[in-house]
Structure 1
Amino acid sequence: MNADVNCAYDVLAVFCGPDGRHGNLLGVVRDTRGCPDEASRQALAKQLGFSETVFVDDPERGVVDIYTPGVRLPFAGHPLVGAAWLLDLEVVNPPAGEVWARQDGEFTWITARAQWAPPRTLRQYGAAAEVDALEVPPPGEWLYAWAWEDEAAGRVRARAFPGRGDGIEEDEATGAAALLLTARLNRALNITQGRGSQLLTAPGPDGTIELGGRVREIRR
């Protein structure tokens, strides 16, 4: 990482596979005094180069602020799962609204609404092998490519291409897109994304969706 970074940060892998590998890397800044405003946070997120970096403004109430290398986000799945795991929170509060969290030992879960997720193009392919064979598309639409691996069991193969031109050509694990796909299909899903990350979802009776995954610490 760039030596100019002046805020301490943790690094987590969120939505790890069953073997503990893979997952989407996340930067977590727990002491935000060195990055007090949007400009300094955006600069740090760009410098770190993770798909998202989350800033914890109030660890007791779970108030957080989320940035990609190029934009601030009101909601994103893997930063909230990661922050809930790291801080052992029951509630996380991004700008989008109150997000409940729980841990069951292996998985950390958040409960959110699909309408909080930024727009994504969800494109279905005929087979998982077609998704595996995709080349990174040129910058443009935010593409979530998916196919059934086992439709009866709710198993999905997916890859995500943000298309923002900010250095993140492919997103290893994307909670927001998983919420959108779950809302579209209206069923629980077991998603394998990227190189081998795993995301689990389950729609609730009140329009909410649970999103869960494994988290491991890379550095503190």
Structure 2
Amino acid sequence: MALDVTVLRVFTNADGEHGNPLGVVDASLVAPADRQRVAAELGYSETIFVDLPAAGTQTTTAHIFTPTLELPFAGHPTVGASWWLKDRGTPVNTLQVPAGVVRVTYDQLADGEFTVITARAEWAPDFSVYDMDSVDDVLNADPDDYRDAAEHYVWAWIDEGEGTIRSRMFASDLGIPEDEATGAGAVRITDHLSRDLVITQGKGSELRTGWSADGWVTVAGRVVDDGVRRLD
């Protein structure tokens, strides 16, 4: 049976450029045993399978898969799925994933519409975090140097006073040689630095975060709909 998958780009810049591709699937259309196969066939860094909210509710559940495994939590899928639910007329204020309950809000700002999720810092994987000396060091990092069984987040300050950083993420163990925009990585680096950040990752994706001393981190981003991809 053919399957229609909505393709989004999550964490674009203000011009709608860049962003991390995401497959979004109505979970009722794919049996749990088949979801890993679908995610592998799509080949995106993550695909999220979303249960549509029951009538009159503003909460639902979702499951997230990389091409090789299921994740208990990830940032760009939860931001993207939350945007998708609002776009189809069923906005939510919470999204249940295996790691826990993600809070959801929607903000209209001068430079775009932002979907905002709030998650526990400990839900993010324990990435290897590399504090680089300069933005050039980040841009010149070679993915081939980060192919062991771990996730690697490399970053440097653009402007420490302004809280802006440049980053890249390598996760070959998850089947993702380089992740264009990583919400879980944004959670981890925000908790690591204990401050709000504006993050430029990959080729130019933008993530905004907020830090709280009680262990919660917000991640906000813009989302663009790239249409439907059909799997036969």
Say whether the fold is shared (TM-score over 0.5): yes
CA distances 1:54-89 after superposition (whole Å, capped 9, x unpaired): 001243432000000001001000000001111022
Q: How far is the alpha carbon of 1:7 from its aligned partner?
A: 2.4
Task: Give SS of 1:169's match.
Answer: strand
Q: Match for residue 215 of structure 1?
A: 223
Match of 1:19 in 2: 15
Runs of 5+ consecutive residues of structure 2 not aligned to the other structure:
87-91
1:183 is aligned to 2:186 = no
The equivalent of 1:143 in structure 2 is: 152
| Larger proportion of strand | 2
Task: For residue 109 of structure 1, give the secondary structure of its aligned residue in structure 2.
Answer: strand
Segments of 5+ residues of structure 1 without an aligned counterpart are: none
Q: Is the 8 A contact 1:11 1:28 kept in 2?
A: yes
Superposition TM-score, scaled by structure 2 size = 0.88
Shift of 1:159: 0.4
Cα distance in structure 1, aligned partners of 2:187 and 2:3: 31
1:49 maps to which of 39, 43, 46: 43
The letter for the 2-side match of 1:193 is Q
Asked if 1:193 corresponds to 2:201, the answer is yes
- Equivalent residue for 1:126? 133
Q: TM-score, normalised by structure 1?
A: 0.92
Tell me which of 167, 171, 180 is aligned to 1:162.
171
Spell out, residue by residue over 1:81-131, the C-alpha distance to the aligned partner (whole angstroms, 9 max, x if none). Answer: 001111022111111111111111221100111101122111110000110
1:28 alignment partner AA: V
Identity of aligned residues (%): 44
The whole-number CA distance in structure 1 between the counterparts of 2:53 and 2:137 is 43
Q: Which AA in structure 2 matches 1:125?
A: M
Task: Quote the Cα distance in structure 2 between the aligned partners of 1:169 and 1:194.
Answer: 12
How many pairs were matched up?
213
Of stretches 189-198 and 57-66 in structure 1, the one that deviates more from structure 2 is 57-66
| Larger deviation, residues 157-166 vs 111-120 | 157-166
Partner Cα separation in structure 1 for residue 68 and residue 93 of structure 2: 29
Deviation, 1:169, is 1.2
